[in-house]
Chains A and B, each alone.
Chain A
Amino acid sequence: MSIEFIYPEFEVIRDQSRCIGCRVCQRQCANEVHSYDDDLKILKSDESKCVNCQRCVSMCPTRALKIVKSDCTLRENANWQNNTIKEIYKQANSGGVLLSSMGNPNPLPVYWDRILINASQVTNPPIDPLREPMETRVFLGKKPDKIERGKDGKLKCNLSPQLELSMPVMFSAMSYGSISYNAHESLARAAKELGIFYNTGEGGLHEDFYCYGDNTIVQVASGRFGVHEDYLKAGKGIEIKMGQGAKPGIGGHLPGTKIVGDVSRTRMIPEGSDAISPAPHHDIYSIEDLRQLVFSLKEATEYKKPVIVKVAAVHNIAAIASGIARSGADIIAIDGFRGGTGAAPTRIRDNVGIPIELALASVDQRLRDEGIRNNVSLVVGGSIRSASDVVKAIALGADACYIATAAVLAMGCHLCRTCQSGKCNWGIATQRPDLVKRLNPEIGSKRLVNLMNAWRHEIKELMGGMGINSIEALKGNRLMLRGVGLNDRELKILGISHAGE
């Protein structure tokens, strides 16, 4: 070996006494870790190619395999940790920007885990969701300032278009291209069955999925890939993507190798050409430009679709949100710094942006202080991991949550964080037909429905415990939250008291 050598991160442990030589592992691994030695009649592994996606482990019929972290490490150093040093080696080898996938894995504070939820005792009763109705339906969109009455004195419906969700969770944007046809189909079918929405991301909408339009949000991002009139009209809402939590200030790059067949057609770009989304929208350099795009899209769709503006949670997010709330947008989606991605520069992913909990708390409070909270609904994403995260987000002031990492996990993702390779063994972040077919949309959608139903039950249990029987009464109800182990400044920003207060 040489100066360029970096010891593999994982070891493949094969229990030879269990291995029956069926070679499933070999067939299943797109990274070509496993090989068969015809002479010795045994399976061998090249662990340098292993990404620890657990595909072989899951498929091995005799549980003969496990992947463990290699214990061959550099000398311990609290400042120059193993990863830090290896990244330097990689960059010294290649001269390139480091790429990563999925959300920030570093041990930065997770505020959800420092927030606790209330329950009723004595002075008011908890409500049993098995015995009493418990409502999770929400409507997203602008609410008018005043009611109106017709000449007959009856109330007139003066609401602008709203998105109706059976529960306050939606699948957030993942483009066709970054994820597979089957992954998109799974999301679309699940959204329809659940009465929620999935989001096309910026790759356009495959013609086969127009039938799920009533449960689709179509995205318009800086590359404008796949955007045309029918596309805008196909969904129930339109999302302008200004930024993404995993890579604020950065555009996107889907390599030409993934722009094949239907992906090319759906994106409306030639096969094999790189799909590069610029960092800014080149028609939006300022807030007043955003307003023009919002209304251009509304004009194009005859004011029948609510417009979402999605931004990454950055330092000045409260002021930015206040500007968006006055831009004509109906919904603001904020993506926190732990949000996932198919590929992002590692330094950006790990160092840019702020936690969604703090961004949400300050935006909700700012919009209320300015009396414009009713102008928009707030949707938050960027690592919503469970039903309790949803409940905490709603109580901090969100109208609904976006989930993507949790959704791909439900479809089989094992969070190996190598989506950028395009060799997803679970058939999600890949366009290789042999890999794509591993994800059965029937099963994928069923698992997504299961996950959401499970969360819905849990949300109801948590609400019932607090004596709340409708999600509206939880929204912004910060008295139901207490912080634990947080300092005064953090509590002030979150607008909650400390446990025991």
Chain B
Amino acid sequence: MQLEGQVRIPSGCAIAAAISRDGKTMTGEKIMNAMKPMHDRSNGLGGGFAAYGIYPEYRDLYAFHFFFKDRASRKDCEVFLKEYFEIVKSEIIPTRKIPEITDEPIIWRYFVAPLKSMVSSAQVDENEFVARMVMRVNIEVSGAYLFSSGKNMGTFKAVGFPEDVGRFYRLDEYEGYSWTAHGRYPTNTPGWWGGAHPFTLLDYSIVHNGEISSYDANRRFIEMFGYKCTLQTDTEVITYIMDYLIRRQGLTMNEASSVIAAPFWSTIENKTDTEDKEKHIYLRTMFPNLLVTGPFSIVFGFRGGLMALNDRLKLRSMVVGEHDDMVYIASEEAAIRVMDNNVKNIWAPSGGEPVIVKVREGVNI
């Protein structure tokens, strides 16, 4: 049977997210609980979490989370890493042995700083350098899979139900100001941990529910710019699109949403604000290949915030709720109520309407 990446596996999902606009930290317990009422949206073949603000003592270093097939692949990978990075800390990611999660690979993390000489000889900025190295490691180092590469954030994922995956990774012991979670319902057995979500690149993470119909159009376009879609999943390609639009093209998050979930031409034509109208015409003409069609609901995590977005027809459920400094996002309202029974202002954003939440200015994140 082919592994994830050798074949494209569609899947249904559950997503949830929580963020404190004041930058107050919370343990992973809250988000793990949110996944419980949505148990039936997953099938035990993939679960995962992204957490922001969890490594404050290493906030200036890239935190690389790895799956290794065996000791030899870890050693090979370290040789590779040392050529380009200073490894400040290297350790096994602590886990809890539970019967629900089995067959784990070697799970390791490194806190690294790219070597200045290497960055300058590549003639790119530090983030671009690291992004390129992530692609290279995943293609070139056999048996190694680098699945988290941001600063002061980390992804934790496995084959299993999300609530079990959270316990396995001892997320109740981490504290972060922003959390996202994903439970997966793939349509066959990937049997590989790398295939679970969230998918991340640098500080960007995505959890996604849906199956996009534009996949290959998007993939073949984005691969022109040095991205390599090794997993063949929607989440992976959407992450690269967001990275390309925001980090490399310099679009705002709102503008990027107008590219991937572009308003219909009829909507654009009816706009009375000429400037807004011209902006949308420009974005659709400039980036037609990055329009994403088919059902999706995503939560896009970044340093200091979250963005929730639905496809323009709203073919997947997604609700948002607020309470004081907290904002919650989930596939189902039940998940939000588990996180906060006193939640206010629950609403379902309409298709293509981004909900952007940022930690207030001045908070050190």
| A residues with CB within 8 A of B | 120, 123-125, 127, 132-133, 135, 137-139, 143-144, 146-147, 149, 154-155, 157, 159, 162, 368, 371, 373-374, 397, 466-470, 472-480
B175 on interface, CB distance cutoff 8 Å: no
A-B contact pairs, 8 of them (CB 8 A): A123-B10, A143-B286, A157-B278, A467-B294, A472-B217, A473-B217, A476-B220, A477-B215
Binds A, one of B191-199, B248-256, B318-326: B248-256
Asked whether, in the complex, the Cβ of B223 is within 8 Å of the Cβ of A466, the reply is no
On whether A159 and B289 interact (CB within 8 A), knowing A133-B264, A477-B216, the answer reads no
Asked whether, in the complex, the Cβ of B10 is within 8 Å of the Cβ of A132, the reply is no
Partner of B313, one of A120, A132, A476: A132
On whether A135 and B282 interact (CB within 8 A), knowing A467-B213, A472-B288, A473-B291, the answer reads no
For the complex, give the distance between the alpha carbons of A477 and B284 in Å. Answer: 18
Q: CB-CB < 8 A to B285: which residues of A?
A: 139, 143, 159, 162
Distance from B240 Cβ to chain A, minimum over Cβ atoms (Å): 15
On whether A470 and B294 interact (CB within 8 A), knowing A132-B313, A368-B224, the answer reads no
Partner of A159, one of B217, B251, B264, B282: B282
Question: Quick one: closest B residue to A143, CB to CB?
Answer: B286
On whether A479 and B215 interact (CB within 8 A), knowing A124-B294, A147-B250, A470-B293, the answer reads yes
For the complex, give the distance between the alpha carbons of A123 and B43 in Å. Answer: 14
B187 on interface, CB distance cutoff 8 Å: yes
B304 on interface, CB distance cutoff 8 Å: no
Asked whether, in the complex, the Cβ of B288 is within 8 Å of the Cβ of A373, the reply is no
For the complex, give the distance between the alpha carbons of A489 and B140 in Å. Answer: 27
B163 on interface, CB distance cutoff 8 Å: no
Asked whether, in the complex, the Cβ of B265 is within 8 Å of the Cβ of A135, the reply is yes
Q: CB-CB < 8 A to A475: which residues of B?
A: 217, 288-289
On whether A469 and B313 interact (CB within 8 A), knowing A475-B288, A477-B216, A479-B8, the answer reads yes
Q: CB-CB < 8 A to A397: which residues of B?
A: 220
Asked whether, in the complex, the Cβ of A371 is within 8 Å of the Cβ of B224, the reply is yes
- Contact size class for B? 35 or more
Partner of A144, one of B220, B283, B286, B289: B286
Asked whether, in the complex, the Cβ of A124 is within 8 Å of the Cβ of B288, the reply is no
Distance from A167 Cβ to chain B, minimum over Cβ atoms (Å): 12
Q: CB-CB < 8 A to A478: which residues of B?
A: 216, 220
Asked whether, in the complex, the Cβ of A124 is within 8 Å of the Cβ of B224, the reply is no
Asked whether, in the complex, the Cβ of A123 is within 8 Å of the Cβ of B12, the reply is yes
For the complex, give the distance between the alpha carbons of A144 and B251 in Å. Answer: 14
Q: CB-CB < 8 A to B51: which residues of A?
A: none
Q: CB-CB < 8 A to B8: which residues of A?
A: 479
B221 on interface, CB distance cutoff 8 Å: yes
Asked whether, in the complex, the Cβ of B214 is within 8 Å of the Cβ of A468, the reply is yes
For the complex, give the distance between the alpha carbons of A109 and B193 in Å. Answer: 44
Asked whether, in the complex, the Cβ of A474 is within 8 Å of the Cβ of B217, the reply is yes
Q: CB-CB < 8 A to B342: which residues of A?
A: none
On whether A125 and B315 interact (CB within 8 A), knowing A133-B264, A470-B291, the answer reads yes
Which 7 residue pairs across A and B have the least CB separation, nearest first?
A: A473-B214, A479-B216, A467-B213, A472-B288, A477-B217, A124-B211, A473-B293
Given contacts A125-B295, A479-B216, 11 further A-B contacts (CB under 8 A): A139-B285, A155-B279, A157-B278, A159-B282, A159-B285, A467-B293, A469-B293, A472-B284, A475-B217, A477-B215, A477-B217
Distance from B310 Cβ to chain A, minimum over Cβ atoms (Å): 14
Partner of A368, one of B212, B220, B282, B294: B220
Q: CB-CB < 8 A to B223: which residues of A?
A: 368
For the complex, give the distance between the alpha carbons of A474 and B213 in Å. Answer: 8
Asked whether, in the complex, the Cβ of B217 is within 8 Å of the Cβ of A157, the reply is no
Q: CB-CB < 8 A to B11: which residues of A?
A: 123
For the complex, give the distance between the alpha carbons of A127 and B295 in Å. Answer: 10
B345 on interface, CB distance cutoff 8 Å: no
Asked whether, in the complex, the Cβ of B286 is within 8 Å of the Cβ of A477, the reply is no
For the complex, give the distance between the alpha carbons of A288 and B315 in Å. Answer: 50
Distance from B139 Cβ to chain A, minimum over Cβ atoms (Å): 16
B361 on interface, CB distance cutoff 8 Å: no
B272 on interface, CB distance cutoff 8 Å: no
Q: CB-CB < 8 A to A159: which residues of B?
A: 282, 285-286
1/0 per position for B212-242, CB-CB distance to A under 8 A?
1111111011011100000000000000000
For the complex, give the distance between the alpha carbons of A478 and B278 in Å. Answer: 31
B270 on interface, CB distance cutoff 8 Å: no
Question: Quick one: closest B residue to A141, CB to CB?
Answer: B285
For the complex, give the distance between the alpha carbons of A162 and B284 in Å. Answer: 13
Distance from B47 Cβ to chain A, minimum over Cβ atoms (Å): 19
Q: CB-CB < 8 A to A155: which residues of B?
A: 255, 279, 282-283
Partner of A124, one of B213, B266, B275: B213
B162 on interface, CB distance cutoff 8 Å: no
For the complex, give the distance between the alpha carbons of A397 and B216 in Å. Answer: 11
Asked whether, in the complex, the Cβ of A154 is within 8 Å of the Cβ of B220, the reply is no
Asked whether, in the complex, the Cβ of A133 is within 8 Å of the Cβ of B213, the reply is no
Asked whether, in the complex, the Cβ of B213 is within 8 Å of the Cβ of A473, the reply is yes
Asked whether, in the complex, the Cβ of A473 is within 8 Å of the Cβ of B211, the reply is no
On whether A147 and B293 interact (CB within 8 A), knowing A477-B214, A479-B216, the answer reads no
For the complex, give the distance between the alpha carbons of A338 and B210 in Å. Answer: 41
Q: CB-CB < 8 A to B294: which residues of A?
A: 120, 124, 467-468, 473
For the complex, give the distance between the alpha carbons of A468 and B251 in Å. Answer: 25
Distance from A83 Cβ to chain B, minimum over Cβ atoms (Å): 43
